[in-house]
Amino acid sequence: MQTDFLQEARRQAEICNACRYCEGYCSVFPALQAERAFSDGDLTQLANLCHNCRGCYYACQYTAPHEFALNLPQALADVRQDSWEEFAFPRAAGKAFQKNGFAIVLATVLGFALLFWAARALATTGGEGFYAVLSHNAMVAIFLPAFLFPLLSIAIGLRRYWQTVGGTPVRLSHLSGAIASAANMRNLKGGHGDGCNFEDEDRFTHARRYAHQAIMYGFLLCFASTSVATLMHYLLDMPAPYGLFSAPKILGLSGGVLLVLGCGKMVWLKLRSDTSLGATNAFGGEIAFTGLLGFVGLSGLLLYAASSSGWMPTLLAIHLGAVLAFFLLTPFTKMAHGFYRMAALVRDVQRRAAG
């Protein structure tokens, strides 16, 4: 990992440890205050525990122009961003996409192209609905590896993370504690429940927390929709298309709406935020990724709306192309943060249980 990022985070953490005014904001400070010296693994854990709520920055008496020049949200964001690149499998892919919005857009366009090509080359005649454009088997042939590979990659990344931060065997209670934190984004509430600082300097709002949860639950609903549909297809012999009041449609439509609204709001917020409190060079990558995720939701909704029109084949290729790019890029974009954040929360539950 980049030693200058770690060194800067260490310098700042040591000053924070002598102050401790911020211990009421989030999980980072109690974890920080449990140490007297900070190893690279400690800093990596703190960095991934940090939700970038920025409360500590705006409350800090030592921000520039003070000679201590503290900017802990940025110092931790740099370490965090760097750790995702370092832990990625393969590493080169992490380096190529994590901070690079252009590469993400390019990969998405390639996804479109692949699906247009597939629709033309593997055209079917017998299928119903979407399967008339691309057969179920062709879809599976494309998406099964595109789903399994990121899973494998993430698993390797998490293993590297766990070794770096010195994690111990995970128990159910560790997981449930971490899930409870993530489920209501406790660490974006500011400790007092007023939310975080993001789009308007030191004003506390829930805007980012709500946007994030819309994205998270939207994504989970869409994922549930696909999972349910897969089970219906294989176990119940009920192939698509499904009606409006079927489980896949209800889950998918609500999830899609949440994704679009959440991603739209998140991009709006990010554009208003002070980029110097995050990993500055990753800003483009974050915006592009959020855009891609929102586009997956939007193209899915459009596809549903236009499913009986002549636009359907085009929209299907676009939607599936975006989904493909999203899946394949998951370990190498901001999407990876969800997995590392969960790991950090689990590790923090372990630390508290041991302490």
Partner 1 sequence: MTDTPDIVVIGGGNAALCAAITAAEKGARVLILETAPKPYRGGNSRHTRNFRCMHHGPLGPLVESYTEDEYLADLMKVTGGKTDEQLARLAIRTSEECLPWMEEHGVRFQPSLSGTLSLARTNAFFRGGGKSLVNAYYRTAEQLGVDVLYEAAVTHLELDGDRVTRVDYTYEGKAKSLSPKSVVVASGGFQADTDWLARAWGPAAKNFLIRGTPYNRGVVLADLLDQGIAQVGDPTQCHAVAIDGRAPKFDGGIVTRLDCVPFSIVVNKDAQRFYDEGEDVWPKRYAIWGRLVAAQPEQVGYVIIDAKSLNLFMPSVFPPIKADTLAELADKMGLPADALEQTVAGFNAACGEQSGFHPTELDGVATSGITPPKTNWARPITEPPFYGYSLRTGVTFTYLGLKVDENAQCSIGDRPVRNLWAAGETMAGSILGQGYLAGFGMTIGTVFGRIAGKEAAAHAN
Q: Which residues bind partner 1 (CB under 8 A)?
A: 14-15, 17-25, 33, 36, 55-56, 58-68, 190-192, 194, 202-203
Nearer to partner 1, 60 or 139 (CB): 60
Nearest to 153 by CA among 198, 73, 92: 92
Q: How far is the CB of 61 from partner 1 (least distance, A)?
A: 5
Q: How far is the CB of 50 from partner 1 (least distance, A)?
A: 15
Contact 270, 286 (CB under 8 A): yes
Task: List C-alpha distances in Å: 125 to 122, 130, 303.
Answer: 10, 11, 20
Nearer to partner 1, 28 or 119 (CB): 28
User: Which residues 6+ apart lie within 8 Å of 70 measured at CB?
Assistant: 12, 15, 16, 57, 60, 62, 63
Q: How far is the CB of 54 from partner 1 (least distance, A)?
A: 11
Q: How far is the CB of 191 from partner 1 (least distance, A)?
A: 6
Nearer to partner 1, 4 or 202 (CB): 202
Q: How far is the CB of 197 from partner 1 (least distance, A)?
A: 9
- Cβ neighbours of 37 (radius 10 Å): 9
Contact 207, 65 (CB under 8 A): no
Task: List C-alpha distances in Å: 265 to 90, 268, 280, 313.
Answer: 32, 5, 20, 29
Residue 193: DSSP 8-state: T
Write down the H helix ranges in the chain. 3-19, 28-33, 40-49, 55-59, 72-87, 91-97, 101-121, 136-165, 172-183, 207-234, 247-272, 283-305, 312-329, 336-354
Nearer to partner 1, 21 or 223 (CB): 21
Nearer to partner 1, 60 or 317 (CB): 60
What is the distance between the alpha carbons of residues 87 and 148, in angstroms, rounded to a whole number? 18
What is the distance between the alpha carbons of residues 307 and 145, in angstroms, rounded to a whole number? 26
Nearer to partner 1, 35 or 40 (CB): 35
Q: How many residues in the chain?
A: 355
Nearer to partner 1, 19 or 342 (CB): 19
Q: Which two tokens stand for residue 289?
A: 């990724």
Nearer to partner 1, 205 or 307 (CB): 205
Query: Phi, psi at residue 204, to the nearest 5°?
Result: -90, 125
Nearer to partner 1, 15 or 306 (CB): 15
Q: How far is the CB of 69 from partner 1 (least distance, A)?
A: 11
Q: How far is the CB of 17 from partner 1 (least distance, A)?
A: 5
Nearest to 322 by CA among 140, 154, 105, 145: 105
Q: How far is the CB of 205 from partner 1 (least distance, A)?
A: 12
Q: How far is the CB of 235 from partner 1 (least distance, A)?
A: 52
Residue 214: DSSP 8-state: H
